[in-house]
Amino acid sequence: MSLLFNITSFEGSLQFLNDYLEIDPKSVIEYVKSDDNDVDVDGFIDIFNISLDKLEHENIEAVALHVTSNNDDCKSIKSTGLLNLQQALTMNTPIKKYLREFQIEFDVSNKLMWFKGNQFDITYNSSWSDDKDERLDSVARKVYFDHQINSFFSIQDVKDYGGRVHEKPEILHNLKELFKADVLEERWKQTCKPYVIKYKAPLDYFAYYSFYLEKYEYEEDYEEKTDLKFWLIKTALYVVWNMVHRRKMPQIFAYMKPEVSIIPNNFLVIIPLNPSD
């Protein structure tokens, strides 16, 4: 049976620390209460005699919150699961159908896009050149560099996130800017409803930058996973500390590997949002 790294709530964070470290919630709360300036993870590990080498990581699944919107009451998502952007632009999804109404189509494999019959090369190149169209490049970047499923391990209110992902897919903003068509965003917001998909996935489904600042840190930690175990403890403690001292969930991002999709069986709950809240 898998162990859930569920820091989407105060209670979930305490439960993970209890299940993973066998430290009761009362002791964890008392520890974080001792310092209102920061959470001392090294001190926590010392006081409770935690040996990172003896901790497992293979059987852990992480819980994350994905924010989306659609006009079919999530019927497509319940059928196909959560898709990355490339899959969503290729398969028969609500966003592909929506873009077709505006005569926008993508050929992801050949790096092409059409708008009203006009063809655009959307090959993404991260290097700068004088003739680069920044607006077209932002579309290419979204499709070929930032197309993974983005979620949150923890957040107070998904509607406060600057990307306003509960209102519309971010790609619509890129297309709106490119074609100077506000209607691309506005009609979606008028016809679609927002949802949070709470799901679980094995740790190795998440991109390394969900847990590490640099790729070399991930590579050096590949075998032992000492830094990963430390991150799991530190981040769960950080959520508890924030709730005890600030009464607020911190914002912690969760990025899936680009090739990963989430099957419906891994959904824990689908939560409708009130967009006016």
Domain ranges of the chain: 1-30+57-67+207-219+229-242, 75-148+169-194
Do residues 120 and 136 touch, judged by C-beta distance below 8 A? yes
Work out the percent of the chain whose per-residue pLDDT is above 70: 96
- What is the pLDDT confidence band of residue 131, given thresholds at 50, 70 and 90? low
**Six-digit token string for 216:** 């070399």
pLDDT at 160: 84
Place 263 in a pLDDT band, splitting at 50, 70 and 90. Answer: very high
In this predicted structure, the answer to whether residue 95 has a pLDDT above a threshold of 90 is yes
Decide if pLDDT at 276 tops 60.
Answer: no
Instruction: Record the tokens describing residue 137, joined without a space.
Output: 């490049």
**Amino acid (one-letter) located at 275:** P
Q: Look at residue 133 and tell me whether its pLDDT is greater than 70.
A: yes
Distance CA 141, CA 258 (A): 13
User: pTM above 0.85?
Assistant: yes
Q: What pLDDT, on a 0 to 100 scale, did the predictor assign at position 128?
A: 62
Tokens of 210: 């969900």
pLDDT at residue number 161: 83
Q: Letter for the amino acid at 71?
A: N
Tokens of 231: 């991150």
Q: What is the mean pLDDT of residues 72-78?
A: 96
Short-list 85, 65, 9, CA closest to 197: 65
b/e burial code for range 190-208 (CB count within 10 A of at least 16 → b): eebbbbbbbbbbebebbbb
Q: How confident is the model at residue 277 (pLDDT cuts 50, 70, 90)?
A: low
Mean per-residue pLDDT of the chain: 94
Amino acid at 97: K
CA distance 63 to 60: 10
Residue 145 CA: distances (Å) to CA of 62, 137, 163:
24, 11, 17
CB atoms within 10 A of CB 115: 16
> Does the pLDDT at position 127 exceed 70?
no
